[in-house]
Amino acid sequence: MLAPHEQPDIWILGHSKASFEFIRTHTGYPHLHWSAPALLSGLDGPRSRRTKLFSWLVPKFFKREMHFDMIFPFPIGTKWQQTACWIPDFQEKHLPDFFSAEELETREQQHRHYFENYQHLVFSSAAAKQDFETFYPEARVNIHVVHFAVFDPPMVQSDASSVLAQYKLPQRFFYCPNQFWVHKNHELVIRSVALLKERGIEVCVVFSGKEHDHRAPDHTQKLKRLVASLNLEDQIRFLGFLPRDHQMVIFHNAHCIVQPSLFEGWSTVIEDAKSISQYVLASSIPANLEQATENIEFFDPYQPEALAALMEKYAMQDPPRKTIDYDIKRREFAQAVLSVVKAVRNTK
């Protein structure tokens, strides 16, 4: 997306060289480098016990003094003030019942550590920025909003018909690819399908994603029991975690994408849909309303009847899809990141 002379060198700090090689191979970006955090001198930011031990064991003469124009998304040491700390969202402020007391305290401490020790914060949406200003009016910090875009690496193209046959998907179906976290609001989708069935309208909904939420380990099983109790096993499919190429085949072939979340900072599901000009039925939460204005309709995430009405509307007719030049969004994302780098690089 950027001209060669604009493309920055990017260092990935991580424990696993194998993970770095995966990223380098799948992105094809020519200016990627890697270092283990323990090999850098001067780190005093949040680190695991393992990293602290390794850093202590590594002799000083093995460690590297490095200069970075920007450190993102998490801090590695207060001596590097050219740091932009990313806060994804403030879900815990809006939906505190989904978190333990310990998690609430951890998030609070992290947010305060960021704005009390660093000078730049990055948010993925204006909605998240507004939340920050509401919850932390005392903060004196530079704020940046960067709307991220998705970039799919070149993949082996799976045959669409064989993928759809493998998962036994019908010709028309709605696709909800959210992870099975409590706030993703799968229950509303299930109850919407049940309402339609009561009216003699049968639709198929496909769920995929990791079926675990550490905050509610039995959440997915509860959803499956609800489906069984409502006699919807033939209409709601749980596919689990899918290979990316299979997921994108299903994305392309779905009648509509359903994004029912109770809270988001910026939705990857909606970005995936935008990238292929797919139509979305989305919850009317602030981040979703900000994220898309084309190929999308909204519903109240607490009202199954509202989603049921939209699904009925498109049960047998195609939604009015408009072709989107998504490369424009990718270029805007790249330029926004560079703008943050320019703002942060000379921070003292």
User: Which tens digit of pLDDT belongs to each residue from 77-113?
Assistant: 888 899 999 999 999 999 999 999 999 999 999 999 9
Instruction: Please check whether residues 215 and 112 belong to one and the same domain.
Output: no
Q: CB within 8 A of 172, min separation 6: which ones?
A: 203, 204, 255, 315, 316
Instruction: Please check whether residues 247 and 123 belong to one and the same domain.
Output: no
Residue 338's pLDDT band (boundaries 50, 70, 90)? very high
185/270 Cα distance (integer angstroms):
15
Instruction: Please check whether residues 281 and 320 belong to one and the same domain.
Output: yes
Q: Where are the beta strands (DSSP E) in 30-83?
A: 32-35
Phi and psi angles of residue 10, each rounded to the nearest 5 degrees, phi first? -120, 125
Structure confidence at residue 309 (pLDDT): 98
H-helix or E-strand containing 247?
helix 244-253
Structure confidence at residue 153 (pLDDT): 61
The CATH number of whichever domain residue 297 belongs to comes to 3.40.50.2000
214/218 Cα distance (integer angstroms):
9
| Of the listed ranges 36-40, 82-86, 124-128, 304-308, the one predicted with least confidence | 36-40
189/308 Cα distance (integer angstroms):
8
Instruction: Please check whether residues 315 and 336 belong to one and the same domain.
Output: no
Tokens standing for residue 302: 């607490």
Residue 319's domain spans which residues?
Answer: 160-324
255/324 Cα distance (integer angstroms):
17
Structure confidence at residue 253 (pLDDT): 95
Instruction: Please check whether residues 187 and 315 belong to one and the same domain.
Output: yes
283/306 Cα distance (integer angstroms):
10
CA of 46: how far to CAs of 76, 112, 168, 213, 235, in Å? 7, 13, 46, 24, 46
| Of the listed ranges 152-161, 182-191, 232-241, 294-303, the one predicted with least confidence | 152-161
Structure confidence at residue 31 (pLDDT): 95
Structure confidence at residue 42 (pLDDT): 64
117/98 Cα distance (integer angstroms):
28
Please name every residue paired with 296 in a beta bridge, in sequence order, or none if there are none: 280
Instruction: Please check whether residues 27 and 115 belong to one and the same domain.
Output: yes
Phi and psi angles of residue 82, each rounded to the nearest 5 degrees, phi first? -80, 55
Q: Look at the block and give the residue holding tokens 């010709």.
A: 171
Q: CB within 8 A of 19, min separation 6: which ones?
A: none
Instruction: Please check whether residues 35 and 123 belong to one and the same domain.
Output: yes
Instruction: Please check whether residues 95 and 165 belong to one and the same domain.
Output: no
Q: Helix 219-229 vs helix 186-198: angle between axes, to the nearest 10 degrees?
A: 0
The answer to whether the beta carbons of residues 245 and 156 sit under 8 Å apart is yes
Tokens standing for residue 245: 């190429």
Structure confidence at residue 61 (pLDDT): 45
Instruction: Please check whether residues 60 and 105 belong to one and the same domain.
Output: yes
Q: What is the number of structural domains in the chain? A: 2
Instruction: Please check whether residues 59 and 191 belong to one and the same domain.
Output: no
Q: pTM of this prediction?
A: 0.91
Tokens standing for residue 98: 């989904």
Instruction: Please check whether residues 147 and 164 belong to one and the same domain.
Output: no
pLDDT at 66 over 90: no
121/132 Cα distance (integer angstroms):
10
pLDDT at 218 over 50: yes
Instruction: Please check whether residues 169 and 56 belong to one and the same domain.
Output: no
Q: Where are the beta strands (DSSP E) in the chain?
A: 10-13, 32-35, 84-86, 120-123, 142-145, 174-176, 205-207, 236-238, 256-259, 280-283, 296-299
Tokens standing for residue 124: 């993925």
